[in-house]
Structure 1
């Protein structure tokens, strides 16, 4: 954050003691300082917290949303929840992890709101499971992002929760109101869809050196 400009002086400066101000950049606030400032309702602290985490949280929201506009809605709702419920943060994990969970929950709420509006035929998707050799980690984030966004909402949610966030299928079932078996089935179907799309595009795996 740049330092605010000093106001212009109209008084005779000879009447003031002469001193030199050393302008040094302020160190970025610590996580604890950001939390304390936000809990006190300081707008500067809220802006600093938003600026620090917004880009990373937008990447999370994009995986769950079908469009950038949708992701921005999730991001906004998520940060409103962050500022409203920050007092419940118990500091048992890094603040970023807690904010990430808030964003995932915001995405789940949006999914529940939109789910009745989305009709998808299972016939449009391959019934076969992805081969065991198919590993999504061989592909870059950008290669996968567009394809993940094309998944039907229920497949996209389960895929992200299991493959990215690390929830198990029992937990996903509780979060989404589905059975553990349905979660497993939809995750397997999502992987098969992604494999089919990548093969159709002829996208070679990324090989990290």
Structure 2
């Protein structure tokens, strides 16, 4: 359910199933129209809220799916992310990409989600080998999934393979490959060491490559 700081419900009422949405092309929205929609959302105009949600549901669901274990978990992250988007619209200054602003909120929401889980599951610092806090420095693997030698695989193939990774490997892989973060930035955001980030990334890439080769 969406609510603002005053606990006023947005257009999607509580206890309703996730809506089936018709896709709206964000690229065709003019800056003036986007500004009108955002300002309407700030005024709690439900039509504007619904339109904004429809505009970004598909792309942001894709972002959340890359971090989640399954679609239900992705929907939880997505809903939390949209609550943050709506509650922070007043702070958006229309300086830079609005879609990029929304995306950063979704990624940060996913990171927060798994950081909270870590205390009980040790998701981000423990690999499948059970070596918590593994610090071994690994040689940087420069494989580019968009390079010619990888063109036999589509990005969807890579994303499907990512779903089979552990949360620790998937989080680091997403941040490094999809969000273009450095290992220092990943270490800071996930509260792990640079060595752990590099190790999890190298293992994630090896596992993805193995999964892709076994599917062809």
Specify the TM-score bucket, using the shorter chain as the normaliser.
0.7 to 0.9
Equivalent residue pairs, number? 173
TM superposition shift of 1:177: 0.3
Q: Aligned ranges for residues 99-110 of structure 1 at < 5 Å? A: 99-110=102-113
Q: Is residue 183 of structure 1 aligned with residue 189 of structure 2? A: no
Larger Rg: 1
| Structure 1 runs not aligned, ≥5 long | 1-26, 204-209
Normalising by structure 1, we get a TM-score of 0.74
CA-to-aligned-CA distance 1:115-153 (integer Å, 9 cap, x gap) = 2443665339xx9x8996854233212212221011111
Partner of 1:58: 61
- Secondary structure of the residue aligned to 1:90 is coil
Quick check: 1:78–1:106 contact (8 Å CA) kept in 2? yes
Partner of 1:14: none
Q: Aligned ranges for residues 60-209 of structure 1 at < 5 Å? A: 60-118=63-121, 122-123=128-129, 134-137=143-146, 138=151, 139-201=153-215, 203=216
CA-to-aligned-CA distance 1:42-91 (integer Å, 9 cap, x gap) = 11111110011101100101000010000011111100110011112222
Q: Is residue 34 of structure 1 aligned with residue 34 of structure 2? A: no
Normalising by structure 2, we get a TM-score of 0.72
- Secondary structure of the residue aligned to 1:136 is coil
- In structure 2, relative to structure 1, the CA distance for the partners of 1:89 and 1:176 (3 Å cut) is same
Coordinate RMSD, CA, aligned: 2.5
Aligned equivalents of 1:46, 1:147: Cα separation in 2: 34
Quick check: 1:130–1:191 contact (8 Å CA) kept in 2? no
